[in-house]
Amino acid sequence: MIRPLALSCAALLGLAQPGLAMERPLTLSAPVQDIAATLETPDGAEAPGPVVLLLHGFTGTRDELAIPGTDEGVFSRTARLMAEAGLSSLRIDFRGSGDSTGTMTYADTTFEGQVADAQTALAWLQEAGYGPVYLLGWSQGGLVATGTAGRSDGIAAVALWNAVADPLPTYTGLLGQAMFDAAAAAEDPDQPVTTGLPWGAEVALKPAFFEGVQSYDPLAEIAAYPGPLLVAQGSQDVLVAPASADSLLAAHDGPEVKYTDEMDHSFNIFTETAALDALIARTIAFFQEN
Q: Is residue 99 part of a domain?
A: yes
* pLDDT for residue 15: 36
* pLDDT for residue 200: 84
Mean pLDDT score, 171-177: 96
Indicate the pLDDT class of residue 69, thresholds 50, 70 and 90. very high
Is the confidence at residue 160, as pLDDT, over 50? Answer: yes
Total tally of structural domains belonging to the chain: 1
* Alpha carbon distances (Å) from 287 to 17, 137, 176, 179, 232: 16, 14, 37, 39, 14
More confident call, 124 vs 16: 124
Mean pLDDT score, 130-138: 98
Q: Is residue 3 part of a domain?
A: no
Q: Is residue 208 part of a domain?
A: no
Is the confidence at residue 62, as pLDDT, over 90? Answer: yes
In the three-class reduction of DSSP (H, G, I as helix; E, B as strand; rest coil), residue 283 is classed as: helix
* pLDDT for residue 12: 34
- What is this structure's pTM? 0.92
Q: Is residue 258 part of a domain?
A: yes
The residue type found at 234 is G
Separation of CA 261 from chain center: 18
**Helix or strand run (H / E) with residue 38:** strand 35-42
* pLDDT for residue 199: 83
73-90 per-position pLDDT tens digit: 999 999 999 999 999 999
* pLDDT for residue 224: 98
Q: Is residue 172 part of a domain?
A: no
Rounded CA-CA distance 284/85 in Å is 8
Q: Is residue 66 part of a domain?
A: yes
Which residues, at least 6 apart from 68, have a Cβ–Cβ distance to it below 8 Å? 269, 270
Q: Mean pLDDT of all residues in the chain? A: 92
* pLDDT for residue 267: 98
7-56 per-position pLDDT tens digit: 333 333 333 344 578 999 999 999 999 999 999 999 877 789 999 999 99
* pLDDT for residue 137: 98
Is the confidence at residue 278, as pLDDT, over 60? Answer: yes
Q: Is residue 177 part of a domain?
A: no
Rounded CA-CA distance 122/116 in Å is 10
* pLDDT for residue 46: 74
Q: Quote the radius of gyration of the chain (alpha carbons, Å).
A: 18
Domain that holds residue 65: 9-167+217-289
Residue 153 maps to which CATH number?
Answer: 3.40.50.1820
Q: What is the DSSP string of 102-164?
A: SSS-GGG--HHHHHHHHHHHHHHHHHTT--SEEEEEETHHHHHHHHHHHH-S-EEEEEEES--
* pLDDT for residue 20: 77
* pLDDT for residue 43: 85
Is the confidence at residue 161, as pLDDT, over 70? Answer: yes
Q: Is residue 68 part of a domain?
A: yes
